[in-house]
Amino acid sequence: MNFSVMRYICDRAVLQCGEENTVYGTAAPNETVTLKITDNKGNSAEFTAKAAEDGEWKMTVPAYPAGYSSYTFTFTCCDDTFTAEDILFGEVFHITGQSNMELPMYRTYAPFKPFEYELTPYIRAFRMNVETCFDGSMEEKEFRSGRWLCADDKEQLMIMSGTGYWFAHELISALDVPVGLLDTSSGGTAIESRFSAKMLKELGGYEELLKKFSDPDYQKNMTEGDLKAEGEWIAELDSRDCIEDKLASGADCYTEKCDIPFYFRDTEKLNGFCGRVWFRSTFEIPNDCDICDGELIFGVIIDSDKIYINGEKVGETAYLYPPRLYKVPAGLLRHGSNTIHISVDVKSGTGGFVSGKNYCLRLGNRVIDLSGSYEYSAIPSGQKEPSLSLTFLPSLPLSEYSTMTSPSFRINVKGILWYQGETNVGSHERYPELFKVYAEMYRSRTGKDLPIIFAQLPNFADPEIADAGLMTDWADLRLAQEKCLEVPGTAMTVNIDCGESNDLHPTDKKTVGTRLAWETLKLVYGKKTKDYSHCISAEYKDGSVILTFDGPDIVLSNETAKYFETVHESKRCKANAVRTSAHTITLTCGEKPDYVYYAYLNDPCGPDLFNTDKLPVSPFNIKVK
């Protein structure tokens, strides 16, 4: 058996300070493995372990204090040597969840806002490839891939979790120690994706899925089937597309007109459309513009796109969510008239250009507006139904237990940061139970009563939904997250002011990460930071409801409150709200209501309630006494 050391231990790793750490690996049965730990002054200590009959060895590294001085780890076994350099001891946290935790720093770039970051060698993140597995009998001991990223290298910093980076940045400021992040986040993951087959069976309700997963070729067949279906769909559109080859010639294939941005649902001809739509427009670049360094900023497009300027492709994106930010190659733009062509493939029948985004070309300090009038030509899909349903494997139960979760049990961490819930929107009733099971699983498997600090979902209105109205699926999930605080050793950050109405992936990860750090400093280290305020009672008296809050003084941020409602016999009525003392808000309501709702909407943009610590109050539904 080849000698190996766990992937987590490599150059620039961070190990938990002040506690023992266990290191694992493989070797030939009964072979001795030696670890020599050397500090930067040349002082060293040696430790040994013997491989078991199955070839696995494990070794306990004694507690080392936190510090900025690095160590070299040298492992030897027979004639094999493995060296890991620049190892630090600091505070290590497991950051996990779905896309808003995974979202890398480069995706937090907003073209018309300052792009903040600071290079430092003391924020490091261990990141692996996202992989799924549906073999219920498998529990991997080792990540299939992984490497340490260090924030002193801009290239590496840009692919770190934005939320994780800002969390670590604030923690270093408060504790003056290096911070390591074990990052197992994965876009689209459901909380159940982190559960084992045994756990899912015990929970119940997953029997049909587990039956499907029992096919050893389930993932292979599903992936191959989806790729084949998508390939056939695209090939069929390509065969009918007579426009792309004629972009440079200026052939007139365009028959309809529209104004970008718009949602296809809002037009008679494109409502429910499935297929490809080509858009064309011309724009002028003044002679005094520098055309050597162009950045095309083209909002968010549903679903996939290719964009051409003057007949040359400048960028493409294969799915809905990312912002379209494309560098325009030098020599492509010209003073005077230019032409833009946009190809949009719509697989689900809900296409469009997300409103409220920037659609423009930036040339240095000059901005050319590219919204407005376009011509278009539609190429319908040959499918009878406007849908190409691709299976997103990380959203399925069990999918990330073996590959992304069970290997993390072997890493010693101080706590867990959890930013997840978007995929569980719509099934909020069970979320507190699932969260409790997740917490119990992790604590049981690591043998540590680990603190869990989680982020409540921000505001968001799904751009694919025609009428957001009073939709409350996200609002319900937020209330379910509040109930998760009943699990001991947990804390929650409120982020109702951090979202973007038209973007599932808001760019403000600094606020979220910083708030996670504040809650961590209180829960884990007992430090005084900023406090949230909570509504603790609602009492009816003489035609009014008095809401009482704990924590710092309450502040109404809007001159006229927008998001207070009284509820009587399920009828919701907007209520006038007045701050009547440092800890009370009074609502005028006439008859006694059953409940008071605050910000009980998917997208309460610009919320009403903050406190003097400048933290938002969590949305609530409270029974009136």
- Same fold flag, 4-89 and 95-206+397-525: no
Other C-beta atoms within 10 Å of 392: how many? Answer: 15
CA separation, residue 48 to residues 37, 70, 74, 95 (Å): 11, 21, 12, 31
Q: Work out the average pLDDT over 483-492.
A: 98
Per-residue pLDDT, 466: 44
- 279-305, pLDDT tens digit by residue? 999 999 999 999 998 999 999 999 999
Per-residue pLDDT, 465: 59
CA separation, residue 601 to residues 431, 473, 622 (Å): 18, 8, 15
Q: Work out the average pLDDT over 423-445.
A: 97
Q: What is the CATH number of domain 241-380?
A: 2.60.120.260
Q: Work out the average pLDDT over 348-357.
A: 91
Query: Is residue 267 over pLDDT 80?
Result: yes
List, in order, residues 6 or more apart from 387 with CB less than 8 Å away.
274, 347, 348, 349
**Fold of the domain spanning 95-206+397-525:** Rossmann fold (3.40.50)
What separation, in Å, do the N-terminal and C-terminal C-alpha atoms of the chain show? 69
Q: Is the dihedral of CA 197, 201, 206, 210 positive or negative?
A: positive
- 469-481, pLDDT tens digit by residue? 567 999 999 999 9
Question: How open is the CA angle 539-597-589, to the nearest 5 degrees?
Answer: 55
Distance CA 459, CA 557 (A): 16
CB 540 within 8 A of CB 624: yes
CA neighbor of 294 nearest in space, from 281, 280, 279, 307: 307
Distance CA 539, CA 523 (A): 31
CA neighbor of 7 nearest in space, from 132, 164, 186, 148: 148
H or E element, residue 374: strand 372-380
Query: Is residue 348 over pLDDT 90?
Result: no
Tell me the whole-structure pTM to 2 decimals: 0.96
List, in order, residues 6 or more apart from 620 with CB less than 8 Å away.
479, 482, 534, 535, 596, 597, 598, 599, 600
The token duo for 37 is: 């730990």
CB 10 within 8 A of CB 84: yes
Residue linked to tokens 């493939």: 345
Per-residue pLDDT, 382: 78
Mean pLDDT taken over the chain: 94
User: Which option is the CATH number for 4-89: 2.60.40.10, 2.40.128.50, 1.10.10.10, 3.90.1150.10?
Assistant: 2.60.40.10
Per-residue pLDDT, 468: 46
The token duo for 13 is: 């790793």
Domain definitions of the chain by residue range: 4-89, 95-206+397-525, 241-380, 535-623
